[in-house]
Amino acid sequence: MSTPAAEATPVQKQAVRRVPLQFDENGDPIFHSVTSPECFKPHALGVMPPRHVIPVIFVPGIMGTNLCANGTAQKAGTTAWAPPNGAMAGLGEWRRRKKQTPTERQQQLMPDRVMVDPSKKVAVPKSLFTITDEEARRRGWGEIHFDSYGGILAALELALNDQYIDAGTAGAKEMPVWTTAKTLKDVDGKDVLSEWNPEKSDVPPLNDTEFRRLADYYYPVWACGYNWVGSNGDSADLLIKRINEAIDWYKRGKYWISTDKVIIVTHSMGGLVGRRAAQKAESQMLGVVHGVQPVGGAPVVYRRMRAGTETDGFFDIMGAIVATIIGWDAADVTCVMANSPGVLELLPTKNYPPKWLRFEHESNGSSTPVMPALPIGDPYTEIYNKRVKDVWWAMVDDALIDPAGLVAKQHGVVFDAYGETISNVRDFHDTLGLYSHPNTYAYYGGDDKHVAFSNVRWVTKNAVPAGADGVLPTLTADSFTKLGQTTLTVLSQKVTFSPAGHDKPDSDTDASSGDGTVPSPSGALISEGSGTQNVFRMKGFDHQHSYADRVVQENVLYCIAKIIQAATPVEELPACKE
């Protein structure tokens, strides 16, 4: 038996058997149940959602969207990128990538050959009664890596739409996350501001009036995957399309009343997508929450182009598995990154602190500069447009860009095509600048236990001849490896440089503290956006799994609750469909 939500009866004492909210072909809510004998006392409980809708759309980070072939070179739907869910799947992906050649990687992940794959894992927890697997897939949950993001999608859906434990019953109790928002204390009575560490302004607790406003709206949680090897500008257009889809969906049927606004929640590179979309569609967003965004880029992108994906030494088994999947050496990495505008847009921008590329001699535990650090003012011409055969410290080996011959076939000179991509990257950076939506909240990592590359250092233990600083900037290499080791002749002496590992921060405030991927100086730049209401420097999580952290979830829900206060009061909105 199906009951439209609009016809749901008031709660009865016997109504304790919660049944999930479902939706008909027009998107209107319904409840499914079955009749039972009168002796069976527990009745079905369908909790009717509010009618006024504010969709929440989650935008994942780089490599967090499942991609498949678009039919250009392979059969449409053939998996191109699907991050593994679970340890066994991870080992399987490691085995596949270990056998893959750079030619095969390039053929598989060229931006014009792939599209978002919506068909991957969706598994809504049984304790979540406001959404089904079918509805979650329709909202885009299958587009993004479920092990990374399924938890935060479910947490948002639950806390925003139920707000109470045993919602709809006489014994309903406020969820702990909302008690935290109202008291700024966790379940143990600890002050959460010491963990949230706000940087921009005071953080007032959510008052009773603000909390009651949450119940005025319905917050269906959507996801928006995107082609992360393509331009973030194109991905922003895809997000705007998803915004319009979500808004229009709730205008189809008879029940919902659209507010014509959405809330955007982003992870990592999804923040660049979200900010660019906000520049174009600011009025459609009630507000934005950004998590661990590389606002000013990340020097590790440069390092991976020269030396492959970093690990933490011989015993870092998981790091080695990840490195094999992403790209073990420069050949594995360059064939994808150098052809991917979205990845190159993660390079440090002009807003990142300059002189992050350094050249040092190490001896007896100390380091001495041997040539001026770069960039001085323009990283695009000073670093990104340099190739290894022209200068030893350059970012890209153009011989590794096009192993499959695809770029040469389409564009002719491979390095010219790469140079055009770098020019477009510069334009994207300049257009985005430090813009933020007028109602923005954000958190980033500042943790000395999760070190990130705030700079890249070329180091040598060989003696460097006096006066070398005058010739080192223009020398070419005698030889170099795909893991970065580079040998050159400096004033008749052989000197070998290699990319150094992470700096070791002394405290959480050091530049190399971060979340393991994004250094804190990059994340902190979101504070400079004119629309940013508050920024939280936090610790205790790594980059990929930051949204799985309990403290982060509490903070994000608090921020969303504050954003909701800017919504048009329901008293000023239509009470029914016209």
Render pLDDT for 146-159 as a digit per residue (tens, 0 to 9): 999 999 999 999 99
Coil/strand/helix, residue 442: strand
Q: What is the tens place of the pLDDT at every residue in 256-276?
A: 999 999 999 999 999 999 999
The Cα–Cα gap between 101 and 97 comes to: 8
Is there a contact between 348 and 298 (Cβ–Cβ < 8 Å)?
A: yes
Residues 222, 246: Cα–Cα separation, whole Å: 8
CA-wise closest residue to 166 among 156, 176, 175: 175
Is the pLDDT assigned to residue 321 strictly greater than 70? no
Q: What is the pLDDT of residues 95-109, one digit of tens each?
A: 777 788 999 999 999
pLDDT category, 317, cuts 50, 70, 90?
A: very low
Q: Where does the pLDDT of residue 502 fall: very low under 50, low under 70, confident under 90, or very high at 90 and above?
A: confident
What is the per-residue pLDDT across 356-375, written as a single tens digit (0 to 9) for each?
A: 999 999 998 899 999 999 99
**Would you place residue 446 in the very low, low, confident or very high pLDDT band (cuts 50, 70, 90)?**
very high
Per-residue pLDDT at 16 exceeds 80: no
Mean pLDDT of the chain: 91
* Phi and psi torsions of 4, nearest 5°: -60, 140
What single letter denotes the amino acid at residue 240?
Answer: I
pLDDT tier for residue 88 given thresholds of 50, 70 and 90: low
User: For residue 1, what pLDDT band results from cuts at 50, 70 and 90?
Assistant: very low
Q: Note whether 56 and 27 are within 8 A (CB).
A: no
Close Cβ partners of 552 (under 8 Å, ≥ 6 residues apart): 291, 443, 538, 541, 546
| Domain spans in the chain, listed from the N-terminal domain onward | 2-62+152-295+525-568, 300-347+350-432+456-502
Q: What is the mean pLDDT of residues 444-448?
A: 96
More confident residue, 220 or 3: 220
- pLDDT at residue 314 in the model: 43
**CA neighbor of 221 nearest in space, from 123, 131, 283, 119:** 131
The CA-based angle 167-168-172, given to 5 degrees, is 50
For residue 15, pLDDT over 70 is answered with no
What pLDDT does residue 103 have?
Answer: 95
Give the phi and the psi of residue 168 in degrees, each rounded to 5.
90, -5
**Are the CB atoms for 493 and 463 separated by under 8 Å?**
yes
- The β-bridge partners of 532 are 440
